[in-house]
Amino acid sequence: MESQKVLPNHKHLMLKISSLPARKYRLLLAFLLFWIGSLAGQTKFSIAVSLEGGRAYTDDIHVYSLQNKLVVTAVDVCNALKITPTVTNQSVSVSTLSKTQHRLVLELKANNHFIKIQNTTENKPHRIIQLDAPLMLYGDKIYLEPHQAGLLFGMLLDAKSDTLGGVLSFNFAQPFSLDTAKTLTPIEMIARHTIQNVIVEEKANGVIVRIISTKPNVKYEFIPPDKNGLAYLTFVGATGDMQALSQTYKNGFLRRIKPISLRGSLQLTFEFDAQKYTIKSTDITREQGTNNFILLALRDVNVQEIIEQENKEEQINTTLNEQRSKWKLDVIALDAGHGGKDVGAIGASGHYEKDITLAIVKKVGKLIEKNWKDVKVVYTRDSDKFVELDERGKIANRNNAKLFVSVHCNASVNRKADGVEVYLLGLHKTDAALKVAQRENAVMVEESDYQERYKNFTEENLIMITMAQNAFVHQSEKLAEIISNDIARRAARQNRGVKQAGFMVLWTPSMPSILIETGYISNPNEEKFLASEAGQTLIAEAIFEGLEKYRRDYEAQVSRE
């Protein structure tokens, strides 16, 4: 549900993030600038976040009016801070790792004045917070006031986001005006339907159906299941979201929920599997403290069947976890282009490509090692030494790397050429891409046995290799797009986009692989930027930010499969 009313004025608000002075860790200051605006009829907080080391990002979350209060959803706050919440019927849990390596869990419970932060590492309470008003549950979401968000997340002392690596403890620098809530259309008034959704939870001895209602005191009539397992629940004078309410389940006690409009009312038909299960009892009640309903259906239990099913599920979960661990992004190979006798391109002022790429790669590696303790960094070279093109990918393969990132600097006879571009392995679609690949591949003649080593480097074999690596193309392209955009934005470079070319360094890695041309060393202005400490830091941070986004999406996808 979204607010439909445009606010008359923008209001600027500020959040302050910092670790506590009492801690031995130095202060980390980050400022989140919130302003309320209207975008396509939706009222939002636009959030600009600055973190240690110059990293920054922006995000938007919706703002609502509920019970005459200005509120945001708990899940939106979590998403803005780049932490993944665990959502249940009436709570949202947030897990973070403190600098003291303690796992802290903040559980946001609806309709409760007391909220607890648990130290699960030592199995003891970390903090208990008493709120001036309980968190609100409306529909299937938990809402909280901005000052409550500041208080609760601020109590996660020195807690770090696994994604951001930054401190999450924060508090509001100034209060939000309560008058702001009065300018918004209340959620209660803009609900499109009375009955919005159903949440089904299968249990060993039955099923719990939570029916989300947007209005209080809705009248209802319930007819228990007949011999065919059909039960009917009618909400008098109500409407429903037919698409959301229509549910089909392949297995289990409840097989289907079918909504229909019936003489100005809404009827839900529940189809239970009466042939396989004996229905013991059904009951419907109003959920305490909300507008919602709970339908509880119990069935006779076969204990042996439950044990066998649990064993089967445990075996399946074990297998899935083993498969997921194989695909976990736990090793990243970083390749600094050129090195040793191969200096690469030489800038207008005499800077070597090999020195710039090594400096950038080391900075990226340090960011990964600092923020991702569970990820191993593999360098194809960590000093000024010569490494053969095909050996670089083999190093990544031997270390079971899940990503291969090669860093280079571009060059052109046109000294005004500038910008960043990122390459995938593939056929050259433009003459410019071909020339870049030819320049990067030219180093092979420096290798003593290059004629034998690269005798299969032909356009026909390039097609075959590209087809063989087709499984990685989508991930490579996604990573390339993210990083090219992030470097262009963070380092204020022209974005020349994602391209394909036959880079020999990308032939051998058996994983998603990209080659980054960070800028044109032949352009005097870009050479100065690329050779500077500040420029190399900005590019490294942009690459790491891109890796963060990619990892978050990648591991979320793996966990769903």
Check whether 526 has a pLDDT greater than 90.
yes
> What pLDDT score was predicted for residue 250?
82
Q: Closest Cα partner for 388 from 332, 342, 456?
A: 342
Which DSSP state fits 446? G
Q: Closest Cα partner for 97 from 376, 443, 371?
A: 371
Give the H/E segment covering residue 65.
Answer: strand 64-66
Banded pLDDT at 182 (limits 50, 70, 90): low
4 vs 379, more confident: 379
Give the H/E segment covering residue 216.
Answer: none
> What pLDDT score was predicted for residue 132?
82
HSE of 440, CA atoms in CB hemisphere, 13 A: 26
16 vs 341, more confident: 341
Which DSSP state fits 135? B
> What pLDDT score was predicted for residue 434?
47
Neighbour-count burial of 460, counting CB atoms closer than 10 A to its CB (0-12 exposed, 13-18 middle, 19+ buried)? exposed
The Cα 48–Cα 14 span in angstroms is: 10
Banded pLDDT at 190 (limits 50, 70, 90): low
Place of tokens 């401190």: 167
> What pLDDT score was predicted for residue 235?
95
Check whether 463 has a pLDDT greater than 60.
no
> What pLDDT score was predicted for residue 173?
34
Check whether 392 has a pLDDT greater than 80.
yes
Check whether 174 has a pLDDT greater than 60.
no
Average confidence score pLDDT of the chain: 75
In this structure, are strands 136-138 and 124-130 parallel, antiparallel, or unpaired? unpaired
- Structure token pair of residue 250: 């392949």
Share of the chain above pLDDT 90, in %: 28
Any idea which of 279-283, 294-298, 471-475, 540-544 has the lowest mean pLDDT? 471-475
77 vs 399, more confident: 399
Check whether 101 has a pLDDT greater than 70.
no
> What pLDDT score was predicted for residue 383?
95
Banded pLDDT at 179 (limits 50, 70, 90): low
pLDDT per position as a tens digit, 221-247: 999 999 999 999 999 999 988 888 999
Domains and CATH numbers, the chain: 12-82+139-187 (no CATH), 192-303 (2.60.40.3500), 325-560 (3.40.630.40)
Give the per-residue SS3 of 301-317. Answer: CCHHHHHHHHHHHHHHH
The Cα 169–Cα 490 span in angstroms is: 25
pLDDT per position as a tens digit, 266-290: 999 999 999 888 899 999 999 887 8
Share of the chain above pLDDT 70, in %: 68
Q: 440: helix, coil or strand? A: helix
Which DSSP state fits 46? E
The Cα 358–Cα 384 span in angstroms is: 8
Q: 449: helix, coil or strand? A: coil
pLDDT per position as a tens digit, 121-168: 788 888 788 888 888 887 778 888 877 877 777 666 444 433 333 333
173 vs 450, more confident: 450
Check whether 300 has a pLDDT greater than 80.
yes
The Cα 555–Cα 547 span in angstroms is: 12
Check whether 377 has a pLDDT greater than 60.
yes
Check whether 408 has a pLDDT greater than 80.
yes
> What pLDDT score was predicted for residue 433?
47
> What pLDDT score was predicted for residue 158?
46
> What pLDDT score was predicted for residue 180?
52
Phi and psi torsions of 351, nearest 5°: -75, 140
Phi and psi torsions of 357, nearest 5°: -65, -40
Query: What residue ranges in 273-369 does DSSP mark as E strands?
Result: 279-286, 293-299, 331-336
> What pLDDT score was predicted for residue 404?
93
Give the H/E segment covering residue 68.
Answer: none
Any idea which of 203-212, 312-321, 332-341, 487-496 has the lowest mean pLDDT? 312-321
Rounded to an integer, the average pLDDT of 201-205 is 85
Q: Which residues pair with 37 in a beta bridge?
A: 44
The Cα 423–Cα 497 span in angstroms is: 9
> What pLDDT score was predicted for residue 176?
44
Rounded to an integer, the average pLDDT of 162-186 is 44
Check whether 78 has a pLDDT greater than 90.
no
169 vs 259, more confident: 259
Rounded to an integer, the average pLDDT of 56-84 is 77
In this structure, are strands 69-73 and 141-144 parallel, antiparallel, or unpaired? antiparallel
Check whether 471 has a pLDDT greater than 80.
no
Per-residue CA distances from 207 to 102, 242, 446 (Å): 36, 21, 70
Rounded to an integer, the average pLDDT of 395-420 is 91
540 vs 92, more confident: 540
Banded pLDDT at 557 (limits 50, 70, 90): low
- Structure token pair of residue 369: 């090692």
Any idea which of 296-300, 400-404, 437-441 has the lowest mean pLDDT? 437-441
The Cα 155–Cα 150 span in angstroms is: 8
Rounded to an integer, the average pLDDT of 507-519 is 86
The Cα 245–Cα 235 span in angstroms is: 13
B/e letters for 34-73, b = 16+ CB within 10 Å, e = fewer, are: bebbeeeeebbbebebbbebebebebebbbbbbeebbbbb
The Cα 11–Cα 36 span in angstroms is: 6
Rounded to an integer, the average pLDDT of 39-64 is 59
- Structure token pair of residue 66: 């509920």
Rounded to an integer, the average pLDDT of 60-70 is 78
Residues 6+ apart with CB under 8 A from 551: 163, 329, 372
> What pLDDT score was predicted for residue 71?
83
Check whether 183 has a pLDDT greater than 60.
no
